[in-house]
């Protein structure tokens, strides 16, 4: 057996070796940090707040162009007179709102904001990110030039008192590599939100069967034609978040149809999107529940690995008052959003 001195000497050698290794690693990290600090993006508080404000005013009266394009194509092929008339009203209303900067729906929605904050971003601000977002929402909804309806109630299980400025927003934030802040602002009305569904399916249950069984129970209160957002996997709360986040992407079902027609291999979610798009529209619910060919303009799906015993699925519809916009801040000032051409 070695002597206490030898054991002490041995442990000291190990300790010194570890310390040198940690010191070297720390020096490397410090050098990397210093390098990153020299190229950090600085986002000013007022620029961020004003960008949030401008975004919510913008989406209150401008439909996303991809939605209008898809709706117009659906209108062209619609054979049901009542459904076609409903689509006509949506299209005419959209143009009038864009021309006069007035809300496309009286329900101006609950403010939802997705943020991807770059790791190389530095904030020149006294307020927290959440506080800045809420200040932007407050300004947007109380602006005298186009005051938006305040629909948010505090104490939802009790007094249900209106907060008067549509705050607080629902904020989802993640930290990502890079030197930019990616922002998605959305306003979602209560009619479509109230039709959201969550189910914990058995692993052997069929997703298409569940969707086709569930859609008719939603009625027309979600104001179709719109988009279906579906989240599959993860945990219950992850599935719901994915369903909501999927609605922020652009309509591209036509491109997916062309991909399938070309013989290209489709992923599981791509094939599922196409199947659901065709079968949901075949239900004949139609625009505003009046029948016809088009109930949904697209089906969006996000998925995530899940527990072997689980198959969570969430479904959230987006209504005809589809409102969302995406932009980036890089420290050069507040965002400048480009209005769509009414002529288009």
Q: DSSP for 75-139?
A: HHH---HHHHHHHHHHHHHHHHHHHHT--SSS---EEEEEEEEETTEEEE-SS-HHHHHHHHHHH
Q: What's the pLDDT tens digit per position in 210-223?
A: 999 999 999 999 99
Say what the pLDDT of residue 1 is: 45
d(C-alpha 149, C-alpha 215), whole Å: 29
Could you tell me the two tokens for 248?
A: 């922020």
Say what the pLDDT of residue 341 is: 86
**What is the pTM for the complete model shown?**
0.88
In a domain, 288, yes or no: yes
**Residues with pLDDT less than 50, the chain:** 1, 23, 29, 31, 34
In a domain, 77, yes or no: yes
In a domain, 343, yes or no: no
Could you tell me the two tokens for 117?
A: 């904050």
Print burial letters for 289-306: b (CB count within 10 Å at least 16), e (below 16): bbbbbbbbbbbbbbbeeb
Q: Which domain holds residue 112?
A: 41-329
Say what the pLDDT of residue 39 is: 76
In a domain, 94, yes or no: yes
Going by the DSSP 8-state scheme, the letter that residue 291 receives in this structure is: B
Helix (H) / strand (E) element for 244: namely: helix 236-246
What's the number of domains the chain is made of?
1
Residue 121 backbone phi and psi in degrees, to 5: -95, 135
Q: How many CA atoms lie within 13 A of 110 on its CB side?
A: 16
Which residue(s) pair with 1 in the sheet?
none
Say what the pLDDT of residue 342 is: 82
In a domain, 214, yes or no: yes
Say what the pLDDT of residue 343 is: 77
Going by the DSSP 8-state scheme, the letter that residue 10 receives in this structure is: H
d(C-alpha 58, C-alpha 54), whole Å: 6
In a domain, 338, yes or no: no
In a domain, 36, yes or no: no
d(C-alpha 134, C-alpha 123), whole Å: 16
Going by the DSSP 8-state scheme, the letter that residue 145 receives in this structure is: G
In a domain, 35, yes or no: no
CA angle 79, 273, 202 (to 5 degrees): 125
């Amino acid at each position: 057996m070695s002597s206490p001195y030898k054991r002490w000497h041995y442990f000291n050698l190990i300790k010194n070796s570890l310390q040198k290794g940690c010191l070297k690693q720390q020096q490397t990290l410090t050098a990397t940090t210093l390098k990153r600090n020299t190229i950090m993006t600085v986002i000013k508080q007022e620029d961020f707040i004003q960008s949030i404000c401008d975004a919510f005013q913008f989406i209150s009266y401008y439909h996303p162009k991809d939605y209008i394009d898809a709706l117009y194509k659906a209108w062209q092929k619609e054979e049901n007179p009542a459904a076609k008339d409903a689509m006509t009203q949506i299209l005419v209303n959209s143009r009038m709102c864009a021309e006069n900067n007035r809300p496309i729906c009286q329900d101006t929605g609950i403010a939802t904001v997705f943020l991807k904050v770059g790791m190389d971003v530095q904030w020149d601000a006294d307020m927290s990110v959440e506080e800045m977002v809420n200040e932007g929402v407050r300004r947007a909804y109380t602006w005298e030039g186009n005051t938006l309806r305040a629909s948010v109630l505090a104490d939802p299980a009790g007094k249900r008192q209106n907060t008067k400025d549509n705050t607080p927003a629902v904020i989802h934030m993640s930290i990502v590599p890079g030197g930019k802040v990616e922002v998605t602002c959305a306003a979602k009305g209560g009619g479509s939100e109230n039709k959201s569904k969550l189910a914990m399916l058995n692993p052997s249950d069929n997703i298409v069967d569940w969707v086709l069984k569930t859609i008719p129970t939603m009625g027309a209160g979600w104001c179709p034609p719109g988009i279906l957002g579906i989240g599959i996997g993860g945990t219950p709360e992850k599935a719901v978040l994915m369903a909501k986040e999927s609605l922020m992407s652009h309509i591209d079902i036509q491109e997916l149809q062309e991909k399938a027609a070309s013989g290209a291999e489709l992923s599981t979610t791509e094939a599922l999107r196409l199947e659901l798009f065709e079968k949901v529209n075949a239900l004949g619910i139609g625009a505003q529940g009046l029948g016809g060919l088009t109930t949904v303009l697209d089906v969006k799906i996000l998925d995530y690995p899940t527990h072997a015993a689980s198959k969570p699925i969430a479904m959230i519809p987006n209504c005809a008052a589809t409102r969302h916009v995406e932009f980036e801040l890089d420290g050069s000032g507040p965002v400048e959003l480009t209005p769509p051409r009414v002529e288009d």
